[in-house]
Structures are given as C-alpha cells and as structure tokens.
C-alpha cells in the first residue's frame, strides 16, 4: 500500500523534475527551441470538449511546441521538457517522437528523460491519441494532426539540442490573481475539514517559473512557468484553432521579451470589442507586413510561420495540477435566467446544458482568452524580472507507468479497499460548467450506474 502511495506523487512530479536537484553546482548546458504545430485548420474535430459538432474552421492564433533541454555535459545526464499547445500529450506521439530521436541521437533521449506536457487548450485539432475514449468524437485517428505534433516536438528538440550552451537557471514562485476558480466547489467541500483548513482558497494559485540564462551573454534565452488553470477560455462552440489562455500568455511573453528592448508600444496593441468585422478587415489591410517572405505552393509549413533556429527567446506557459480549476472566473450561470446555477448539481432546473461558466470578457471568449492570458503573463513577467534563486546540483529524473486497477487505499486503521478497473461515472457524462455534457446527466449524482471500460 505504501509503495503505491509513493508512486503517484513521483509521477506527478515529472514536470517538476528539477525538485530532484539538490547538490550545489549551477552550471549546465541549456538549450531552447520552438516549432509550429498548428495542424489542420478546417473540418477536423477539436480536442477537449468531446463535441462532435466542434470542427476547425480557421485560426485564432497558431499552436507551438516549446522545448528546453538541460544537460550536465554534451553526452551527460540530461532532461528534456516539451510544452505543447495541445489538449494533452499522447503516448502514441511520444513513441513516434522517440523513434525519430533515436535515429538521430541514439540513446540520449528516452522515455525516462523526455517529458511531454500539454497546455490543455480545448481549441486544437484532435485525433492524435490511440485510445478509444479520446478518438470517439474525432471519428478516429487523424494523421495530419498527429504528424504536425510529432514533427513540431522533434524539430523543437533538435533546435534545443543543437543550441546547448553553458548556462544557469533561476527559480521563482508567486501567486496569480484571479486567473482560476474552482468549478466544482460543492465537490471540494467533501474533502476533510482538517485538510481544507490548511489552505486559504479552494484552488492552488501558485505559479512556478524557471528562467534560463546563457552564461556567455548573460541574457535570458527562455522562461518556463507552471500554473493551474484550464484551457477553456475558448468555448465548446468555438471553431478557431487557438492556444487558449496559455498559448496567448506565451505569445505575450515572447513579444514582450523581444520588443521590451526596442519599443514598448509594439506590444500594447489594443483590441476593441465593439468594432465589427469589416472595420477590423479594413484596419488589417492597412497594417504592413513585419518582415515575412514570399512563399509558393510547395513551400513547407515550417517556412510560412514564425521561425526559430534555437536563437530566439522561448517563453512557455505549462499546465500543472489543473483538476477543476476554470479560467471562467465570473462563475457559472444559467443561460435562460441569467441566475447562478444550482450549487450542488451545476445545473438549471435539472438541465446541465443551461449551466455555463463565464470568463472575465463575457460574452466575448476571445477577450476572456486575452485577459486570462495577460494575468498569467504579467505574473510571469514579474517573477522573471525578480528571479534570483539559482537552481543547482546534478540532473536526475523519474518516470513510472502505473496500473490504476487494484491499487490499495487505506481508508482508516482497519480498512483497506482497492480501486476498480477503469470506469466513467455519471459525473463524467455531465461534463463541467466549461462544457456541459449532452446526455442529460447532472453533476453530483451518486445513484446512477457507471460505465465500465
Ligand atoms: C502521415 O502523414 C505523413 C506526412 O504527410 C506521411 O509521411 C505518413 O505516411 C502518413 N501516415 C499515414 C499512416 O497515413
Ligand atoms: C547578469 O545580469 C544580471 C541582471 O540581468 C546582473 O544582475 C548580473 O550582475 C549580470 N552578471 C554578469 C556577470 O554580468
Ligand atoms: C538592448 O539591446 C542592446 C543591443 O542589442 C544590448 O546591448 C542591451 O544590453 C539591451 N538591453 C536590455 C535591457 O536588454
Ligand atoms: C460595421 O461596419 C460597416 C462598414 O464599415 C458600417 O457601415 C456599420 O455601421 C458598422 N456597424 C457597427 C455596429 O459599427
Ligand atoms: C448541497 O448538498 C449539501 C449536502 O450534500 C447540503 O447540505 C446543502 O444544503 C446543499 N446545498 C444546496 C444549495 O442545495
Ligand atoms: C492492471 O492490473 C489488473 C489487476 O491487477 C490486471 O488485471 C490488468 O491486466 C493490469 N493491466 C495492465 C495493462 O497490466
Ligand atoms: C473504517 O472505514 C470503514 C469504511 O468506511 C468503516 O466501515 C469502518 O467503521 C471504519 N473504521 C473505523 C475504526 O473508523
């Protein structure tokens, strides 16, 4: 029992593998990379809401894979972390990426020291996971999505690898204000009172940031931060590909870093919510291109987008213990009456579909995405600017596969129970206030059957 209890935290700690560093040293080889991974922008189902009608129909902004590698020496121990503007990572993607890396780098990057994480945007193309539950609404596997993601991860790792240079890492933490609330506050109240008493809020508001510094130039080459809030600022009706609030935060950070030394005004582009589309179109036609190059029909996708050869600053906003944290911070309201939803069931007179969360830009989801992105960006900028704590020690990592069937759980001194085989409960079918389900289930129901998988 205790053995199992210890495995889970280790697994969760993968993203924070640097916690395992504990000796004094502080000089590493560090490299960063980033690569476009947008995928098919028309007619492909989107990953996250499991909404069969939500198919891509354009792009809000493009998706990227962002990578950092930290190594002890050119052939020595290393750790590679990739953050995807995607719903989640995928074992199938990892297997394919590792195959490609093996032909190029031998055994330098393996399932042990490569961690791939998704921002949990709900506005990226689906069809890149091998398990049935993830592929139902995408009607199976979609090679274009899969290929874009695998290639982006591979290319961003190659960039980071080829740019490994002596460097150091600074570490900082702080609290992000008003970028996430608990979307299941009634369920949270079932936690033991003594446990709840340990925290001042019912969500974790901590942001942890790593600043990557190049020793030779004493300049930052990247910043990776972790903070928990869902990628659901864009709704289940949205059909534009988007990195959602974390993808937006990354763009704000990278633009801020790039332009802060030139002209502050370039990043303060103000968008008015009341302008209509023809006004915007006219405005867009007047904006000059910012250094693009002509491309033909056969030009590769990689050529057409913001490019990186590993020398550009990479700012990534990664997902952490997101659980039930929603960026729709105004709360959940009934779409018919405008009143708050039923507290225990997140429904409106028994109908879960009428209960929907509102972001700070409500009813404009693009504005909500921008605001929640800005709140994370601004905190990251502050943590970045004030970071002084260096990370030091050797590099180590852990990776574990855990079978969640028959894990023993000690309820009290005399009773030990076991987990069941994989199953989904009625609450799953009810969805959440970020995207209600369609089967007539309600949250908080404990009487209905489960579907065993
Ligand atoms: C997927 O797409 C890639 C790139 O276009 C191609 O090389 C590969 O053969 C495709 N795989 C399948 C199974 O269609
Ligand atoms: C590197 O830059 C930081 C601030 O950006 C400064 O505090 C530090 O003194 C610099 N170190 C060197 C060696 O120039
Ligand atoms: C701005 O850029 C110049 C030239 O690239 C560099 O010398 C200077 O240190 C930079 N300043 C800051 C604050 O980054
Ligand atoms: C939208 O734009 C058109 C063309 O510029 C204009 O005629 C119309 O008044 C605008 N509507 C609003 C609500 O601004
Ligand atoms: C929610 O459920 C709890 C018990 O599970 C009950 O005590 C409480 O009154 C309910 N609240 C509302 C608003 O129905
Ligand atoms: C997980 O454990 C269960 C029960 O011990 C077993 O029946 C099942 O085959 C295991 N699954 C895998 C993938 O090993
Ligand atoms: C332990 O938990 C079980 C299951 O909830 C319960 O039946 C039993 O009374 C509990 N025993 C003690 C000593 O609290």
Condensed to tens digits (0 to 9), the pLDDT of residues 93-143 reads 999 999 999 999 999 999 999 999 999 999 999 999 999 989 999 999 999
> If you average pLDDT over every residue of the chain, what do you get?
88
Residue nearest to ligand 4 atom 1, measured at CA: 276
- The reported pLDDT for the residue numbered 271 is 46
- Contacts with 318 (C-beta within 8 Å, 6 or more apart), sequence order: 15, 83, 117, 119, 224, 225, 226, 227, 246
**Overall average pLDDT of the 166-184 stretch:** 97
Ligand 4 pocket, mutate which of 275, 277, 278, 280 (most atoms under 8 A from CB): 278
The answer to whether residue 289 sits within a structural domain is: no
Cα–Cα distances (Å) from 156 to 81, 88, 136, 311, in that order, read: 10, 17, 30, 12
pLDDT band at 289 (very low <50, low <70, confident <90, very high): low
Beta bridge partners of 261: none
Ligand 4 atom 4: the closest Cα is on which residue?
278
Block residue for tokens 């802060």: 260
Helix (H, G, I), strand (E, B) or coil at 237: coil
pLDDT at 263 over 60: no
53 or 279, which is more confident: 53
Residue 125 and residue 229: Cα distance in Å, rounded?
A: 20
Contact 80, 111 (CB under 8 A): no
33-51 burial code (b ≥16 CB/10 A, e <16) = bbbbbbbbbeebbbbbbbb
For residue 212, how far is its CA from the centre of ligand 3 (angstroms)?
A: 17
Q: Minimal CA–CA distance to 302: which of 158, 163, 152? A: 152
126 within some domain: yes
Q: Count CB atoms within 10 A of the CB of residue 220.
A: 19
Question: Is position 345 annotated in a ligand binding site?
Answer: no
Question: Residue 235 has what pLDDT?
Answer: 97
Q: Is residue 372 part of a domain?
A: no
Q: What is the mean pLDDT of residues 298-325?
A: 83
Question: What ligand has the least distance to the C-alpha of 279?
Answer: 4
Distance (Å) from CA 443 to ligand 7 centroid: 27
Read off the pLDDT of each residue in 298-310 and give the average, rounded to a whole number.
Answer: 68
Segments forming the whole domain that contains residue 132: 3-273+310-322+377-401
The Cα 25–Cα 432 span in angstroms is 46
In this structure, which ligand is nearest to the CA of 187? 5
Tell me what pLDDT residue 11 has.
40
Q: Strand 114-118 relative to strand 78-84: parallel, antiparallel, unpaired?
A: parallel
Is the Cβ atom of 140 under 6 angstroms away from ligand 1? no
Percent of the chain with pLDDT over 70: 86
Q: What is the mean pLDDT of residues 183-194?
A: 96
Q: Does an H or E element contain 46, and which?
A: strand 42-47
Say if residue 20's pLDDT is above 50.
no
Rounded CA gap, 288 and 283, in Å?
A: 10
With a 6 Å cutoff on the Cβ, whether 92 touches ligand 1 is no
Cis-peptide, bond into residue 363, ω within 30° of zero: yes
What's the DSSP call for residue 289? P
Strands (E), 126-204: 165-175, 181-182
Q: Count the neighbouring beta carbons within 10 Å of the beta carbon of residue 361.
A: 17
Q: What tens digit of pLDDT does each residue of 29-54 get?
A: 999 999 999 999 999 999 999 999 99
Residue 149: how many other CB atoms lie within 10 Å: 29
Task: Report how far ligand 4's centroid is from the alpha carbon of 276 (Å).
Answer: 6
Relative to beta strand 55-57, strand 64-71 is unpaired
Ligand 4 neighbours (beta carbon < 6 A): 276, 278-279
The answer to the question of residue 90 being in a domain is yes
Say how many Å lie between the CA of residue 313 and the centre of ligand 2: 17
Q: How confident is the model at residue 268 (pLDDT cuts 50, 70, 90)?
A: very low
Round to the nearest angstrom and report the end-to-end CA distance of the chain.
Answer: 25
What is the tens place of the pLDDT at every residue in 375-385? 999 999 999 99
pTM, to two decimals: 0.83
Give pairs for 306-312: CB < 8 Å, separation 24+.
306/36, 306/62, 308/33, 308/34, 308/35, 308/156, 308/159, 309/159, 310/31, 310/32, 310/33, 310/159, 310/160, 310/162, 310/163, 311/163, 312/34, 312/254, 312/258
CA 238 and chain centroid, separation: 18
pLDDT one-digit tens code per residue, 335-370: 999 999 999 999 999 999 999 999 999 999 999 999
Length of the chain in terms of residues written: 453
When pLDDT is cut at 50, 70 and 90, the band that residue 424 belongs to is confident
Cα–Cα distance for residue pair 273/262, rounded to 1 Å: 28
Closest C-alpha among 353, 330, 324, 349 to residue 430:
353
Is residue 332 domain-resident?
A: no
Look at residue 247 and tell me whether its pLDDT is greater than 90: yes
| Ligand nearest to the CA of residue 143, numbered in listed order | 1
Contact criterion met (CB below 8 Å) for 228 and 323 = yes
39 is a domain residue: yes
Q: Is the pLDDT of residue 19 over 90?
A: no
State whether the Cα torsion 325-327-329-330 is positive or negative.
negative
How far is 167 from 152, CA to CA, in rounded Å? 24
Q: What is the pLDDT of residue 104?
A: 97
230 appears as a binding residue in the annotation: yes
pLDDT of residue 444: 84
- Rounded CA separation 374/162 (Å): 32
30 found inside a domain: yes
pLDDT, greater one: 34 or 280: 34
Mean per-residue pLDDT for 218-226? 96
Q: How many domains does the chain have?
A: 1
Question: Listing from the earlier edge strand, what are the strands of the sheet with 124-125?
Answer: 55-57, 42-47, 124-125
Q: Which helix (H) or strand (E) holds 193?
A: helix 193-196
């Amino acid at each position: 029992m205790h053995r199992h209890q210890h495995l889970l935290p280790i697994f969760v700690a993968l993203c924070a593998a640097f916690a395992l560093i504990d000796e004094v040293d502080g000089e590493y080889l560090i490299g960063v990379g980033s690569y476009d991974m947008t995928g098919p922008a028309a007619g492909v189902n989107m990953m996250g809401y499991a909404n069969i009608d939500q198919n891509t129909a354009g792009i809000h902004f493009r998706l990227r894979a962002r990578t950092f590698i930290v190594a002890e020496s050119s052939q020595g121990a290393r750790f590679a972390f990739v953050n995807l503007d995607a719903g989640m990572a995928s074992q199938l993607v990892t297997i394919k990426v590792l195959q490609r890396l093996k032909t190029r780098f031998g055994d330098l990057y393996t399932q042990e020291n490569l961690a791939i994480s998704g921002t949990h945007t709900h506005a990226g193309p689906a069809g890149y996971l091998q398990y049935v539950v993830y592929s139902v609404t995408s009607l199976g596997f979609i090679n274009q999505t899969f290929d874009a993601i695998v290639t982006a991860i591979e290319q961003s790792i190659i960039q980071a690898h080829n740019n490994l240079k002596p460097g150091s890492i600074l570490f900082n933490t702080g609290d992000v204000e008003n970028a996430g609330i608990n979307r299941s506050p009634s369920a949270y109240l079932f936690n033991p009172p003594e446990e709840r008493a340990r925290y001042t809020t019912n969500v974790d508001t901590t942001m942890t940031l790593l600043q990557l510094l190049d020793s030779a130039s004493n300049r930052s080459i990247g910043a990776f931060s972790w903070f928990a809030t869902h990628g659901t600022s864009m709704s289940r009706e949205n059909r534009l590909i988007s990195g959602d609030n974390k993808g937006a935060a990354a763009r704000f950070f990278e633009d801020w870093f790039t332009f802060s030394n030139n002209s502050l005004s370039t990043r303060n582009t103000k968008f008015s919510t009341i302008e209509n589309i023809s006004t915007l179109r006219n405005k867009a036609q007047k904006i000059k291109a910012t250094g693009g190059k002509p491309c033909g029909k056969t030009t590769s996708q990689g050529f057409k987008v913001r490019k990186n050869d590993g020398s550009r600053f990479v700012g990534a906003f990664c997902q952490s213990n997101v659980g039930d944290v929603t960026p729709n911070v105004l709360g959940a309201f009934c779409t018919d009456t405008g009143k708050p939803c039923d507290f225990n069931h997140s429904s409106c007179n028994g109908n879960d579909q009428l209960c929907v969360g509102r972001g700070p830009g409500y009813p404009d989801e693009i504005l909500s995405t921008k605001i929640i992105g800005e709140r994370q960006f601004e905190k990251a900028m502050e943590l970045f600017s004030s970071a002084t704590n260096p990370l030091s020690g050797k590099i180590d990592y852990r990776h574990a596969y855990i079978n969640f069937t028959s894990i023993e759980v000690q309820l009290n001194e005399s009773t030990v129970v076991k987990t069941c085989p994989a199953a989904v409960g009625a609450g799953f079918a009810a969805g959440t206030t970020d995207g209600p389900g369609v089967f007539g289930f309600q949250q908080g129901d404990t009487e209905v059957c489960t579907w065993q998988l």
